[in-house]
């Protein structure tokens, strides 16, 4: 049986929940012939790398999909690329902020996702789940964990696929923000991640 490790983030920015973990935690234990395992990650630049590596070593998955929140987006956005930079005005949950510093000083400028992001977007759209391919994961902790993941897999687990998916706010978060903030129901986002897992599973079968 194949195994996919999903990670989601703890709440940040004053929110009580984070749709990435709320969605990941609602995934079934098994999707077809794929076993689903999950870990919650802290919203910390300097805290995610070691925890991520520990999870990959313990679970020995065939693929890893990290999931995060992109509150200004209105659709599910699989990310194509992670860049080697930490640069955001807002501090992380540990109070740490960076301005243009590399994630790994001697690392490559960028990594491309190795999960089939274009197929995931196509399959989401075909199922009526709003989605678009994203070409930037930003420069906050979401991009940081995606870069750490792909760097880790490239150096130590080259047969494991990896990528990142951004989710909008969930509908229940909107009451804490402006009514004009875009959102999706958790049920829709669970469906989206389920389709993503199925797509990756078929890709693994064909490999």
| DSSP structural state of residue 10 | P
Helix (H/G/I), strand (E/B), else coil: 90: coil
Q: Answer yes or no: 22 catalytic.
A: no
Q: Answer yes or no: 166 catalytic.
A: yes
Helix (H/G/I), strand (E/B), else coil: 114: coil
Determine what percent of the chain falls in helix, strand and coil, rounding each to the nearest 5.
35, 25, 40
From the list 166, 171, 177, 187, the catalytic residue is: 166
Whole-angstrom distance, CA of residue 31 vs CA of residue 201: 9
From the list 44, 142, 144, 148, the catalytic residue is: 142
From the list 66, 79, 144, 148, the catalytic residue is: 79
Residues 6+ apart with CB under 8 A from 171: 183, 184, 185, 186
Whole-angstrom distance, CA of residue 32 vs CA of residue 18: 27
Residues 6+ apart with CB under 8 A from 167: 19, 20, 23, 67, 68, 69, 70, 76, 184, 189, 192
**Among positive and negative, which fits the CA dihedral 139, 140, 143, 148?**
positive
Residues in the chain, overall count: 207
Q: Answer yes or no: 175 catalytic.
A: no
- Residues serving a catalytic function are 79, 142, 166
């Amino acid at each position: 049986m194949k195994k996919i490790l999903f990670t989601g983030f703890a709440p940040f920015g004053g929110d009580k929940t984070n749709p990435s973990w709320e969605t990941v935690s609602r995934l079934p234990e098994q999707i077809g012939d794929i076993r689903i395992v999950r870990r919650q990650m802290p919203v910390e630049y300097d805290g995610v790398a070691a925890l991520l590596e520990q999870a990959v070593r313990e679970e020995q998955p065939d693929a890893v999909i990290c999931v995060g929140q992109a509150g200004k987006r209105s659709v599910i956005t699989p990310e194509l690329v992670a860049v080697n930079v930490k640069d955001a005005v807002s501090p992380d949950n540990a109070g740490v902020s960076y301005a243009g510093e590399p994630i790994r000083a001697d690392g490559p400028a960028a990594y491309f996702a190795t999960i089939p992001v274009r197929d995931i977007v196509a399959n989401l759209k075909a199922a009526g789940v709003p989605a678009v391919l994203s070409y930037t994961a930003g420069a906050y902790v979401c991009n940081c964990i995606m870069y750490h993941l792909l760097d880790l897999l490239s150096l130590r687990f080259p047969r494991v696929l990896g990528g990142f998916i951004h989710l909008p706010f969930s509908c229940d978060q909107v009451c804490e923000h402006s009514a004009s903030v875009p959102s999706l129901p958790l049920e829709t986002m669970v469906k989206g991640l389920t389709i993503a897992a199925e797509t990756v599973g078929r890709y693994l079968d064909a490999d």
